[in-house]
Structure 1
Amino acid sequence: MPKNGRTYPNASGAHPPYENFGPDCAVCGLPREAMEPANRANSSKKSPLPLVAVALGVALLLMGGMGFLSYRLFLTNRENNPPSLSGRSTSGSQLVSKTTARNAAYISQGERILISEPNPQRVALKQEAALAFDRGDWALAIAKYQELVALDPNDPESRIYLNNARARQAGNPMTMAAVVPIGTSPDTAKEVLRGVAQYQEQFNASAPNRPLEVVIVNENSPNGVTSLAEDLINSSIQGVLGHGTDANSRAALQVYEQAGIAALSPLTTNVIPQGNSRVQVQTLSLNEKGKQLLNTYLDNAAQTLAEAVAKKVPHAKVALFYNSDSPYSNELKSKLTAVLPQFGAQVVQQRDVAAGFNANTAMTAARQAAANAVVLAFSRARVNEAVALAIANQTQTPPLQFFGSDQLYGPDLLIKGDSAINGMILAVPWSTNPNDPFAQQAAQAWRGQISWRTTTAYDATQALAQAMAKGGDRASTQQLLRQGVQIQGQTASGTFNRVPLVQAAPGPNGPKGSNYQFNPLSGI
């Protein structure tokens, strides 16, 4: 607690003592001056005050409006050159979060936990692991993160931090960033991070000249993604993976491009099949090719969905739902309205859910318009609306066949939708095949079925790591990826070139809390 009579709204409260050499408490965020009584803090003495033991700890916070328990391990430590602790390694460059005062709480290499943890035992263990990482005690950080991975093999954040601690202990790591939507879509973030972690572990096990270190970045900073991008370009990061297709992502990608940092995202990455399961991963200029790549993918997704509608529901009359607050949803809706008639389907109703809607009323209106199929061209943020429509559809006789885009693919739809989403068909860039060697390896590593996001993140990390290892610096890494990097690709035929189908069905391989899973679908 502050002893100088002042208030610090960002501080997280009292906690057990912990040794600290910096100007700020690495856990609660209080500056050193706050630990001095008011009469001493305001003293006119010019000589520095003696070092005191600064109290540290972790506050458990109930995140307003999010419905789950979260915690923040540390706030910014602004010391640029912390002294080495006795017996501790300081291998590697300065931690990225130590170089910024703006978004430190949203960036971690292992010194803070970004993804909420509901298990009290793992919460305490993660606190210990992160504190050890923060002070450069790699042996202890490795031991603690190893224990966490053993307790929860499906936790990609702990696995990445374990890999990072080993990389720091080995010395001179090369560093990339993975920017994921932890705040708004933690399950999606985990799917991406599983692919990153799996290739990072594989790469580092090959005894490279420089091990790979991954900085995890929560893109949901209140300062915005461009502020995060500016923090990353002012660090030792050599390349970036992540972001989406929205306007904010485009702005962040422009920041990287102007700074000469390679960034692999759906708007900047082209995947070209080379034969024998090899693909070439190539980054393209955002301004010149970004929209073209997205359009190519959306064209293929719309074509796949329209063909599925025509085969599953002959002479289909479609109720098309979308959300106008998403450029992705708007684009897909436009392409679907153009391509569905080419397959003999008629769009009898278009409904924008961004303006607010009642699912029961919407489904009744669809029936009144003689619809016999529903296509959901939603963005990722509209899973709840998709579930509400599916539940409303369940009460109608007979229920209409539902179709949807890749943005609905994920555990939330299966868990929240339960039996209401049974039979829903989605077009996604990649689907799990139980006979695929990579899918088997990944399922064993993560104790469960993986998604296309995991696979594409694995491929993207592979391409970025190989370019970083060969290039050695930002400029060379960017140049190599502009030319194209060949990898042993796991994304079937390239993410933008083929959009297969999956269908929700009962099964044991779905996420925890659901009796449903996504199965590959062919022949319709």
Structure 2
Amino acid sequence: MVNEFNYVTCPKCGHDRNPITAKKCEICAKKLGKGGSPLPLIAAGLATLAIFGGGGYFFLKGSQSITASSDPVPAATTANAGESAPVLAESQAIAATVSDVTNYLSQGDRILISDASNPDKQAGVQAFASGDFQTAVTRFQAARQALRNDPETLIYLNNARLGSSPTLTIAAVVPIGTDSPVGGNLNAARELLRGIAQAQDEAVQAGVPFKVLIADDANDPSRAEAIANVLVQDQHVLAVVGHGTSRTSLAAAPIYQQNQLLMIAPTSTSTELAQVPRGAGGNFVFRTIPSDQFTGTTLARHALAEGKNRAIVFFNSQSSYSKSLMEAFSTTLGLEGGQIVQQVDLSEGNAASQLANNADVIVLLPDSETLTQAIAVASANQNRLPILAGDAFYTIESLRQGGSALNNAVLSVPWHPLASANPNFIQASSSLWGGDVNWRTAFAYDAMQTLRSARSSASVTPQVGVEGRTKLNSALTGSGFSANGTTGVISFLPSGDRNSKVLLVRVQPGNRSGTGFDFVPIQ
């Protein structure tokens, strides 16, 4: 378990996972210092107990997994008498937050993605919750016809097809966050779920009974921890695909490690993920996307190959992802003959005004929260210096906002459909969803393919129960393990990192994205 005293609680929003060295809160950006305080261990303990109090946790009213509920854990009925009033109040506030985590979990009994009205989907959810799986199948099929590209509906449809039969349950934790003050990323959640839904659909058609439990962590580390604490206690959850960002993956990973529940992060790239302390059972945290070390190294070597060895780097010091990418780039550039002439923190002030005159290349390494600031830097550059960028720029939105300011920018990215190792996946996904998919979908699909391959190797069946977790992990960490995915052969380093390459793409005028510019693979 992570030492709680390595973190600082924000006095404004209550976020309790700010690194002790952080200057600002990761959530609300309030300055930290004397105002922040380490979260007492007793508060974390009460929060965990609160999740499981009151008679246990139920996934839904009917049979949604192998059985309707997980084993209840006894809860403390009173706080310790020795707690001070402020500590007790904080503990109760945290407990109240995490006790509602069941509202963010569904195998088909509630709608988590609710931005589009669909009466058939609502009727399907109601039928599913009552245990009428035949009606649920009919209504979810109708909902699919009305909104073809909704992955939540396809997941619920396949869960309903499996009904009350013995199944293997995979939890998919994504940042929906439509009701969260932190704010999730609904588009990213959909993109991840499309890969998970496609892989589940293929598995169910092949006779592999994978049910998917969707969990919404809203890109909120506190909620991610609460969800992880629920998942590790439910013995029917075989493994986790998630979380959707480095921030939430880092918050939840220690819980999975300690409780020996396999987690495969499809899109979390921070190098810190490989450094999460392991329990006695070995490593249970993996990722199908290359880490920032691969991405930063590839960008640095491209800069040097182009004769650009004096870089100004823009990054967000409040983001683990952005920091680890900056460190990987800077280390490689320095060791191989280049230098960083200036580092600019995108979270502080007007970064676009700090372009250095003595640099010969601009390196933009924002996270999603500082992407707009990084695009402002590109616009201020007016195509004077060449631009290198991290994969946070690998979105339609960056092309839409950046336009000609990003023309000829080079990005290091994990995957591109025109360079896919599995063209059949591109064709199948386009047919299933009615259009192109992106890298999040591809890596989420590969996370599910990894679990499917490991399940087959270990002969894990629904009857195995909780022992299936360790059997699955043993297969994944065994000598010679590999799986075939759309992003290539999937294998892992001892750290849990994907043993893979990254690609370089260039922003060029084109019509594929609909913005006037496209990402084009560099041969």
Q: 1:152 & 1:505 partners in 2: Cα distance?
A: 32
| 2:173 counterpart residue number | 179
Asked whether the equivalents of residues 315 and 344 of structure 1 are also in contact (C-alpha less than 8 Å), the reply is no
What one-letter code is carried by the residue in structure 2 that aligns with 1:521? I
Please, what TM-score do these two structures have when normalized by structure 1? Answer: 0.69
SS in 2 for 1:243: coil
What one-letter code is carried by the residue in structure 2 that aligns with 1:412? E
| 1:502 counterpart residue number | 505
> What is the CA distance between 1:182 and its match in structure 2?
1.7
> What is the CA distance between 1:499 and its match in structure 2?
1.0
> What is the CA distance between 1:199 and its match in structure 2?
0.9
Give CA-to-partner distance per residue, 1:170-203, whole Å, 9 cap, x none.
x222211011122222222222211111110001
Asked whether the equivalents of residues 240 and 261 of structure 1 are also in contact (C-alpha less than 8 Å), the reply is yes
Q: Any residues of structure 2 matched to 1:284-323 within 5 Å, and which?
A: 286=278, 297-312=291-306, 314-323=307-316
> What is the CA distance between 1:433 and its match in structure 2?
1.8
Q: Does 1:458 align with 2:456?
A: no
Q: 1:334 aligns with which of 296, 318, 327?
A: 327
Give CA-to-partner distance per residue, 1:247-275, whole Å, 9 cap, x none.
65234222223223222226999xxxxxx
Residues 391, 478 of structure 1: alpha-carbon distance in 2 compared, 3 angstrom cutoff: farther
Give CA-to-partner distance per residue, 1:39-62, whole Å, 9 cap, x none.
xxxxxxxxxxxxxxxxxxxxxxxx
Q: 1:193 & 1:83 partners in 2: Cα distance?
A: 24
| 1:420 counterpart residue number | 405
Residues 136, 507 of structure 1: alpha-carbon distance in 2 compared, 3 angstrom cutoff: farther
Asked whether the equivalents of residues 448 and 509 of structure 1 are also in contact (C-alpha less than 8 Å), the reply is no
CA RMSD in angstroms, aligned pairs only = 3.7
What one-letter code is carried by the residue in structure 2 that aligns with 1:478? T
Residues 148, 403 of structure 1: alpha-carbon distance in 2 compared, 3 angstrom cutoff: farther
| 1:374 counterpart residue number | 362
> What is the CA distance between 1:296 and its match in structure 2?
7.9
Q: 1:148 & 1:421 partners in 2: Cα distance?
A: 39
SS in 2 for 1:519: strand
Asked whether the equivalents of residues 240 and 262 of structure 1 are also in contact (C-alpha less than 8 Å), the reply is yes
Q: 1:303 & 1:81 partners in 2: Cα distance?
A: 44
Asked whether the equivalents of residues 195 and 441 of structure 2 are also in contact (C-alpha less than 8 Å), the reply is yes
What one-letter code is carried by the residue in structure 2 that aligns with 1:500? L
Residues 243, 461 of structure 1: alpha-carbon distance in 2 compared, 3 angstrom cutoff: same
What one-letter code is carried by the residue in structure 2 that aligns with 1:165? A
What one-letter code is carried by the residue in structure 2 that aligns with 1:189? A
> What is the CA distance between 1:490 and its match in structure 2?
2.3
Q: Does 1:224 align with 2:223?
A: yes
Asked whether the equivalents of residues 268 and 290 of structure 1 are also in contact (C-alpha less than 8 Å), the reply is no
**Count of matched residue pairs:** 413
What one-letter code is carried by the residue in structure 1 that aligns with 2:170? M
Flag structure 2 segments of 5+ consecutive residues without an equivalent. 1-27, 29-53, 74-97, 178-183, 491-497
Flag structure 1 segments of 5+ consecutive residues without an equivalent. 1-64, 66-75, 270-281
Please, what TM-score do these two structures have when normalized by structure 2? Answer: 0.69
Residues 261, 444 of structure 1: alpha-carbon distance in 2 compared, 3 angstrom cutoff: same
Asked whether the equivalents of residues 351 and 377 of structure 2 are also in contact (C-alpha less than 8 Å), the reply is yes
Identity of aligned residues (%): 31
| 1:47 counterpart residue number | none
SS in 2 for 1:514: coil
Q: Any residues of structure 2 matched to 1:27-42 within 5 Å, and which?
A: none
Q: 1:165 & 1:219 partners in 2: Cα distance?
A: 24
| 1:404 counterpart residue number | 389
Q: 1:482 aligns with which of 455, 474, 477?
A: 474
| 1:265 counterpart residue number | 265
Asked whether the equivalents of residues 228 and 252 of structure 2 are also in contact (C-alpha less than 8 Å), the reply is yes
> What is the CA distance between 1:83 and its match in structure 2?
8.0
Instruction: Indicate the larger mover: 107-116 or 468-477.
Output: 468-477
Q: 1:491 aligns with which of 465, 470, 487?
A: 487
Q: 2:378 aligns with which of 370, 390, 406?
A: 390
Q: 1:248 & 1:90 partners in 2: Cα distance?
A: 26
What one-letter code is carried by the residue in structure 1 that aligns with 2:449? Q
What one-letter code is carried by the residue in structure 2 that aligns with 1:331? S
Q: 1:83 & 1:345 partners in 2: Cα distance?
A: 61
SS in 1 for 2:518: strand
Residues 126, 516 of structure 1: alpha-carbon distance in 2 compared, 3 angstrom cutoff: farther
Instruction: Indicate the larger mover: 133-142 or 102-111.
Output: 133-142
Q: 1:471 aligns with which of 460, 474, 496?
A: 460
SS in 2 for 1:238: strand
Asked whether the equivalents of residues 319 and 375 of structure 1 are also in contact (C-alpha less than 8 Å), the reply is yes
